Amino acid sequence: MTKNFSQTAAFIWSVADLLRGDFKQSQYGRIILPFTLLRRLECVLADTKAAMVAESERIAEKGLPEEAQEKFIIRASKHAFYNTSPMDLSKMGQSDIKDNLNTYVQSFSKDAREIFEHFKFEEFVGQLADANLLYKVVQKFANTDLSPEAISNHEMGFVFEELIRRFAESSNETAGEHFTPRDIVRLTTSLVFMEDDDALTKDGIIRTIYDPTAGTGGFLSSGMEYVLELNPDAVMRTYGQELNLSLMPSVKLIC
């Protein structure tokens, strides 16, 4: 899939053909990036969807606070995030698609919802609906396979960064301000860890990675991949911060 990541990104970016005329070029990324994230998240959660919905319905009767509910649902999700709606992009319908989509996004766990809030996703959903484009855009993404089986976390990073590059070009910005090319990230990661290769292969390894300028999360994902390639049983914890929060979705994409 790696050799085709640019083709996947190009296919996703072709949504811009639908937007042309109703939206400015500088707005394309504000629509395409969050929809890409949304599709990736639902593909990642697909296998545990039924379990999440059932667990959500079970604990809803108990009247627990949101934080307590999240712990139970995340356990059913088997990921660091979840969605409790039985819907997905393929089930939005056409007549009530705006309300259905907003409800669907609000059904994500708190940290995932915050990402869409930073994109002002609900605002753009309204604009798409007003332009009679929302259903077409949703269908485009619903028919795009971004499952982990089709495209790995590492490859998804390539796709997302290619979309950011296209977004930067359409906005007359420099893509390098937003991410470091993955080949350079991999080389840098190797240089950081190479002296610890022997130690990292031992049992009971626990490592924490922190990036104070996380950007799109390339160094975090590469660090995790490097250690887990050496020792699949290693326990990895990643932390990062980023001033431009619209760049953080790719951290979610590697979950």
- 105-127 pLDDT, tens per residue? 999 998 889 889 888 999 999 99
Same domain, 131 and 225: no
Note the pLDDT of residue 254: 44
Exposure of 55 in the CB half-sphere (CA atoms within 13 A): 19
Give the pLDDT score at 49.
92
Do residue 116 and residue 227 come from a single domain? no
Q: Single out the residue in 120, 147, 170 at which a domain terminates.
A: 170
Residue with tokens 């899939």: 1
Report, as an integer, the average pLDDT of 67-71.
Answer: 84
In this prediction, residue 84 carries a pLDDT of 92
**Domain match, 52 and 132 both:** yes
Q: How confident is the model at residue 2 (pLDDT cuts 50, 70, 90)?
A: very low
Cβ atoms 225, 97 nearer than 8 A: no
Average pLDDT over residues 94-108: 93
* Residue 15 predicted with pLDDT over 50: yes
**DSSP one-letter string for 98-146:** HHHHHHHHHTB-HHHHHHHHHTTHHHHHHHHHHTT-HHHHHHHHHTS--
Rounded Cα distance, 155 and 249, in Å: 15
Q: Are residues 150 and 186 in the same domain?
A: no
Average pLDDT in the 1-24 region?
Answer: 82
Last residue in a domain, options 112, 141, 170: 170
Shared-domain flag, residues 186 and 107: no
Query: What is the average pLDDT score of the chain?
Result: 84
Pair (96, 162) in one structural domain = yes
**The last residue of a domain, from among 140, 170, 200:** 170
Q: In this structure, what CATH number is given to the domain that contains residue 228?
A: 3.40.50.150
User: 82 with 110: CB under 8 angstroms?
Assistant: no
- Structurally, the chain folds into a number of domains equal to 2
Q: Are residues 185 and 243 in the same domain?
A: yes
Q: How confident is the model at residue 179 (pLDDT cuts 50, 70, 90)?
A: low
C-alpha–C-alpha distance, residues 39 and 104, integer Å: 12
The pLDDT > 90 percentage for the chain reads 34
Each residue of 24-38: pLDDT tens digit? 888 898 899 999 999
**Are 20 and 56 found together in one domain?**
yes
Domain range holding 242?
Answer: 179-253
> Do both 162 and 200 map to the same domain?
no
Residue 82 vs residue 246, higher pLDDT: 82
166 and 183 together in one domain: no
The pTM score is 0.78
54 and 123 within one domain: yes
Whether residues 189 and 74 fall in one domain = no
For residue 17, what pLDDT is reported? 92
**Over 70: is that where the pLDDT of 16 sits?**
yes
